[in-house]
Chains A and B, each alone.
Chain A
Amino acid sequence: MAAPSEMPMELQVNVNGRVRTVRIEPRDGLFRVTVDGETRLIDAAAIDDTTFSLVGIDHGHRSEEVGLGEIGQSGELAVHLSGGVVVARVSSGPGRFGRGAGGTPQTAGRQQVVAPMPGKVVKVLVKEGDSVRVRQGLVVVEAMKMENELRSPKDGRVARVLVDEGTLVESGRPLVEVE
Chain B
Amino acid sequence: MGLFILRRLGVMLLTALCLTFVVFFLTNLYPNLEKLAKTQGNFRMSDEQVESYLGSRGYLQPLPRKYAEWLGLAPGFLSQDTEGNAVGRCIRPGVAPEKTPTRCGILQGDWGFSTVFKEPVSAIIATRLGLTAKLMLWVMLLMVPSALIIGVLAGMREGSRTDRTLSTLSIATTATPEYVSGVIFIALLASSRYGVSPMLAEAGLIEGKTLFKGTATSAMESANFQNFFLPVLTISLYGMGYIARMTRASMAEVMTAQYIRTARLKGVSFRNIVMKHALRNALIAPFTVIMLQIPWLLNGVVIVETLFNYKGFGWTLVQAAGNNDIELLLGVSVVSVFVVLITQLFSDIGYVFLNPRIRIS
Real binding pair: no
